[in-house]
Structure 1
Amino acid sequence: MAADLHEKVDRYEGLLAEALGEAERLPPPDTPLGEAAAECEEMAQSYLEDGRHFRERDDAVNALAAFSYGHAWLDAGARIGLFDVPDSGHLFTV
């Protein structure tokens, strides 16, 4: 079971890092939607950093949760049109 957990931590960290690299904000930055996109991106980046912090401390459960939450912020932002993301592939559910 621990091997499965560590494999998932690896996979979700990579997924979040790759998604952050692919998501491009759509709304102009000086608009309420632009601010919302910036906040979603900031939350995703913060969760990536948190997950890496937990991982360094051998806390795989919280690392996985952080990576998952971070990806959810980006994915939700993409669904409501805050980000331009790839239409196909494994990064987003849009």
Structure 2
Amino acid sequence: MHKKKAKIYKDSKIFPIEARPVEREITEEKLKKYFEITKQALEKLEIAVHEKSLLFFVAQDFLTMAKSYYSDAEYYYKKGDYVTAFAALNYAHGFIDAGVRLGVFKGEDDRLFAFG
């Protein structure tokens, strides 16, 4: 049995190939950028499934999780814990992107959604 290797595309928005300097810290500037992107994604997000669909509950759960992690990120940011704030933002956006990928959210803006 052969395992398929993941393809890395030159124009990938998820895993860009171009050389970048290694970042070893989470700056306030970087945090503010990702807060803004996630905030815009949450504001633009629409549930794509009918409310009587079983997947509607999945969409609601993913949205609740994304909003909760975003709120957690704000809490940790205010406390000065940039690492935990950044982690929470990544979880928030992970739920958003997973919902788009699953098809329970509309996400057509590729600046805000990984699979838009």
Q: Output the TM-score relative to the length of structure 1.
A: 0.89
Q: Which residue of 2 aligns with 1:6?
A: 28
Structure 1 position 31, deviation (Å): 2.6
Percent identity, aligned pairs only, is 30
Q: Which structure dedicates a bigger proportion of its chain to helix?
A: 1
Q: Which residue of 2 aligns with 1:55?
A: 77
Structure 1 position 25, deviation (Å): 0.2
Q: 1:36 is aligned with what amino acid?
A: V
1:75 lines up with 2:93 in the alignment:
no
1:44 lines up with 2:63 in the alignment:
no
Q: Output the TM-score relative to the length of structure 2.
A: 0.73
Quote the RMSD (CA, aligned, Å).
1.4
Q: Which residue of 1 aligns with 2:10?
A: none
1:42, 1:28 → 2: CA distance? 17
The alignment covers a number of residue pairs equal to 92
Structure 1 position 27, deviation (Å): 1.2
Q: Which residue of 2 aligns with 1:15?
A: 37
Higher-RCO chain (CA-CA 8 Å, sequence separation at least 6): 1
Deviation track 1:8-67 (CA, whole Å, cap 9, x = no partner) reads: 211111111110011100112233200000000000000110000001101111111111
Structure 1 position 82, deviation (Å): 0.6
2:106, 2:99 → 1: CA distance? 9
State the secondary structure of the residue aligned to 1:30. Answer: coil
2:64, 2:87 → 1: CA distance? 17
